[in-house]
């Protein structure tokens, strides 16, 4: 019996009615990714800041224990040992030993409460008092330099801070005596000589004053100079005679 082939086209597939629903997506698709990366970055920043503070605290601790202001013992290796970190970690936060010392000096100035940017002749006596009080916290027995006062001229870090301190005092005198010339300003700013650990130690060791007495003595001298500046009496000028009765 002959086989009859069905050559007709296949019937079209039945259409699935539209249910109005969105196509089902794999679990988690379309959801916002957790902000894990920003959290990790924040944690790293906090850890880096804590490590930097730890290094600075260790360096300041070494300085407080030195017998004088010779910072040859303030090395990256010594600071790393005191902070219990690798030397490479210190260099990661401070690119050089000079950079580390600059940061330590800024920390010491901050500890002393000295604001060089806000220095005025009116508050110079107070700044000296803060400096002397801070010096009393160091076990220094020799007449040596101090970074908040004067520092070793051959140390770039000390020299840079000394320039800032000198410029701040010169600006303070210029603000109090705007009509004075450069020579008068420089001579008046020589009151900087009292901003010295040598003066402090001489008062303590030679004159046997305590810190409070040394502070009052220097403040008294500063007040006399400040009064002269207010009255317009520059260095070398004779004060006008008092009117006769």
pLDDT in tens, 169-188: 899 999 988 988 888 888 88
In this structure, the answer to whether residues 224 and 119 fall within a common structural domain is yes
Count of alpha carbons within 13 Å of 68, Cβ hemisphere only? 10
Dihedral angle sign, alpha carbons of residues 217, 187, 153, 56: positive
Q: Confirm whether 11 is domain-assigned.
A: no
In this structure, the answer to whether residues 126 and 196 fall within a common structural domain is yes
Are residues 218 and 132 in contact, defined by beta-carbon separation less than 8 angstroms? yes
Q: For 184-242, what is each residue's pLDDT tens digit?
A: 888 888 788 888 777 888 888 889 999 899 989 988 988 888 888 888 888 766 555 55
pLDDT of residue 5: 45
In this structure, the answer to whether residues 63 and 121 fall within a common structural domain is no
Neighbour-count burial of 85, counting CB atoms closer than 10 A to its CB (0-12 exposed, 13-18 middle, 19+ buried): middle
Are residues 124 and 222 in contact, defined by beta-carbon separation less than 8 angstroms? yes
In this structure, the answer to whether residues 212 and 135 fall within a common structural domain is yes
Please name the residues in contact with 95: beta carbons below 8 A apart, sequence gap of 6 or more: none
As a whole number of angstroms, the distance between CA 169 and CA 191 comes to 9
Residue closest to 64 by CA, chosen among 112, 32, 23, 30: 112
Dihedral angle sign, alpha carbons of residues 219, 221, 224, 226: negative
CB atoms within 10 A of CB 176: 17
In this structure, the answer to whether residues 141 and 69 fall within a common structural domain is no
Boundary (domain end) residue, out of 110, 131, 162:
110
Neighbour-count burial of 128, counting CB atoms closer than 10 A to its CB (0-12 exposed, 13-18 middle, 19+ buried): buried
The mean pLDDT of 80-86, rounded to a whole number, is 96
* Domain CATH code at residue 83: 1.10.10
Q: For 110-147, what is each residue's pLDDT tens digit?
A: 888 888 888 888 888 888 888 888 888 876 554 444 55
3-class secondary structure, 66:
coil
As a whole number of angstroms, the distance between CA 191 and CA 124 comes to 10
> Which structural domain, as residue segments, surrounds residue 203?
113-230
Question: Residue written as tokens 């804590």?
Answer: 50
Q: Confirm whether 181 is domain-assigned.
A: yes
In this structure, the answer to whether residues 93 and 119 fall within a common structural domain is no
163 vs 157: which has the higher pLDDT: 163
Boundary (domain end) residue, out of 110, 132, 150:
110
Q: Looking at the predicted structure, is the pLDDT value of residue 244 above 90?
A: no
Share of residues in the chain with pLDDT > 90 (%): 24
Assign 32 a pLDDT band (cuts: 50, 70, 90). low
In this structure, the answer to whether residues 103 and 128 fall within a common structural domain is no
Q: Confirm whether 243 is domain-assigned.
A: no
pLDDT of residue 81: 97
Q: Looking at the predicted structure, is the pLDDT value of residue 30 above 90?
A: no
In this structure, the answer to whether residues 177 and 145 fall within a common structural domain is yes
In this structure, the answer to whether residues 106 and 126 fall within a common structural domain is no
Boundary (domain end) residue, out of 60, 89, 110:
110
Q: Confirm whether 15 is domain-assigned.
A: no
Q: Confirm whether 14 is domain-assigned.
A: no
Q: How many domains does the chain have?
A: 2
The model carries a pTM of 0.65
Are residues 55 and 85 in contact, defined by beta-carbon separation less than 8 angstroms? yes
In this structure, the answer to whether residues 104 and 139 fall within a common structural domain is no
């Amino acid at each position: 019996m002959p086989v009859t082939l069905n050559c007709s086209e296949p019937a079209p597939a039945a259409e699935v009615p539209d249910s109005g629903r969105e196509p089902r997506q794999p679990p988690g698709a379309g959801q916002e990714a957790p902000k894990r990366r920003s959290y990790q970055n924040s944690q790293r920043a906090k850890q880096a800041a804590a490590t930097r503070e730890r290094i600075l605290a260790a360096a300041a601790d070494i300085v407080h224990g030195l017998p004088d202001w010779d910072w040859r013992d303030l090395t990256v290796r010594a600071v790393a040992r005191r902070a219990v970190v690798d030397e490479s970690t210190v260099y990661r936060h401070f690119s050089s030993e000079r950079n580390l010392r600059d940061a330590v000096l800024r920390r010491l100035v901050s500890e002393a409460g000295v604001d060089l940017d806000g220095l005025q002749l009116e508050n110079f006596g107070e700044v000296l008092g803060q400096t002397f009080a801070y010096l009393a916290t160091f076990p220094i027995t020799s007449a040596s330099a101090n970074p908040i006062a004067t520092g070793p001229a051959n140390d770039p870090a000390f020299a840079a801070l000394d320039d800032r301190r000198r410029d701040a005092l010169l600006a303070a005198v210029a603000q109090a005596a705007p009509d004075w010339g450069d020579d008068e300003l420089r001579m008046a700013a020589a009151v900087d000589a009292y901003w010295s650990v040598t003066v402090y130690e001489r008062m303590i060791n030679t004159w046997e004053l305590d810190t409070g007495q040394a502070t009052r003595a220097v403040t008294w001298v500063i007040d006399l100079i400040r009064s002269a500046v207010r009255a317009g009496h520059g260095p070398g000028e004779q004060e006008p005679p008092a009117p006769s009765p």
